[in-house]
Chains A and B, each alone.
Chain A
Amino acid sequence: MLSVQGLRVAYGHAEALRGVDLEAKGGEITAIIGSNGAGKTSALMAISGLVPVTAGEIRLEGRSILGMKPYEIAQLGIAHVLEGRQLFADQTVEDNLLLGAYTRLPHDRARVAEIMEREMNRFPILQRRRHQFAGNLSGGEQQMLAIARGLMSDPKLILMDEPSMGLAPLVVQEIARILRGLRQEGSTIILVEQMASVALQLADRVYVFENGRIKLSGTGIQLASDPEVKRAYLGG
């Protein structure tokens, strides 16, 4: 689905990514774990076009998307659920969802209404909060809305940045359940996650980032039993 080769990203003189290769297969959850500043978020932002790439190649279904504008990449079917939710706090839940379907509007209204019903069923709390301002939702509800907004375009590939950030354990479990459900529906997800235990449990394939490079990669099961991963990321 998506392949990244030799990806480098720099902010001025600071290199955030120093040559990263990764592959996200269709219908799988690909997780990226690693400590703060390892370059996880930069990798997602490079894929969605939010930060310029200094070297390397990014291909979606074999076609290079390098140098495209973020809105063009969104139109190709890549949705990005940004770190820290980044909702339109001064607009309603429903309007946030509508904007999530912006690439399908206004020509595909009927389909968008269907998708909105689908997401309201997936996240019943959003149905109840439909006409409230997104800024008035609780942290967990905001994360649900951020994910739902990402799904509104019916994307081929979903980039999800730290969906568990700042949430209570029970809510994290709820989000994990939803991600598992999405995988069962056949969605393709690249998940960046600070909580390695959650990521290893969910992911088909895991990449461990360190200082802008890939330190390890393997299946979730392989890495969960890797002594180094256990020591560094699972607290055991």
Chain B
Amino acid sequence: MSMTTTNEMIGQTPVRRRFGASDLIGLGVIVALAIVGYFLFPNNLALLTRIIAIALLVLSLDLVTGYCGVATLGHAALFGAGAYAAGIVSAHYGINDPIAMLAFGIAAGAVAGLLCGAVILRAHGLPQLVLSIALIHLFHEFANKASSWTGGSDGLSGIAPSALLGLYEFDLWGRTAYVFGVVLLVLVFAILRLIVRSPFGMLCRAIKEDPVRIRSMGASPKAALMKMYVISGAVAGVGGALNAISTQVVGLDSLSFTMSAESLVMLVLGGTGSLFGALTGTIVFMFFEDVVSAANPFHWLTMVGALLIAVVLFAPKGLYGTAADFLSRRREAK
């Protein structure tokens, strides 16, 4: 093979893989969708903000499940920890600055990530899944019993975030909360894009494929996965805090098994191991749920089930994963 061909071949892929055009396009798409959503559903911004909060949970789940191969059905524990922390500091301690509440949410999410990681990462496969389910039930029960702090089954109320940056009040239409959510999502997404392409992101992908091989390269899979769990907790904490700030109430459902399972369903729907997949899955699932449950309140769960079966059977890589595959095959064919 001639030198020129060699150099061309070596040169091609890196350009595509560096942070650059595709990432900016991705961020642009998020912002564009956010603007479209704002004008299309001006009376339903609360739903859109809720979608953003859940999208942050699903992104967080993607970090440990999609990128690291950890099986968990208890990921809402991290989201709920963030939500309760942001709510409690406001309702009980009068810390009402949204940025400060967010900081407490992030910290609580990270600590919950550390705790959950320390337990879940002790096992693999099915036992790992069982540990995660046990954890979410423990978190749920703890929040239920500590009712003087959390409001128990009545939910935590009395959350009163002050104006964002001292300028923008959280209004009745949810405009401030929505814009706040979009900014948070864009920031988190950009940071995560950097992380998944970093040496650490590469290490995690390798661990997912073969942890034994990674040990023989001198790296500790457990230490890396713990670190990812903490990052994942911080991301879920952002989602939880956003939920607490925007709805001004935190319920036990934010720490529930149902929410954990649904977030996994959304991730699989969009496609694991891809940040765009996580976003796609959340948006499609939540819109589908909203539209279908309004159209047919009795059979909407059946339709959600049918959608899932169709995706798993006909697009096993998820909606985004399958579409991306299809496009790259077409590009290669040309």
Q: Are A and B part of the same complex?
A: no
Residues of A with Cβ closer than 8 Å to B?
A: none
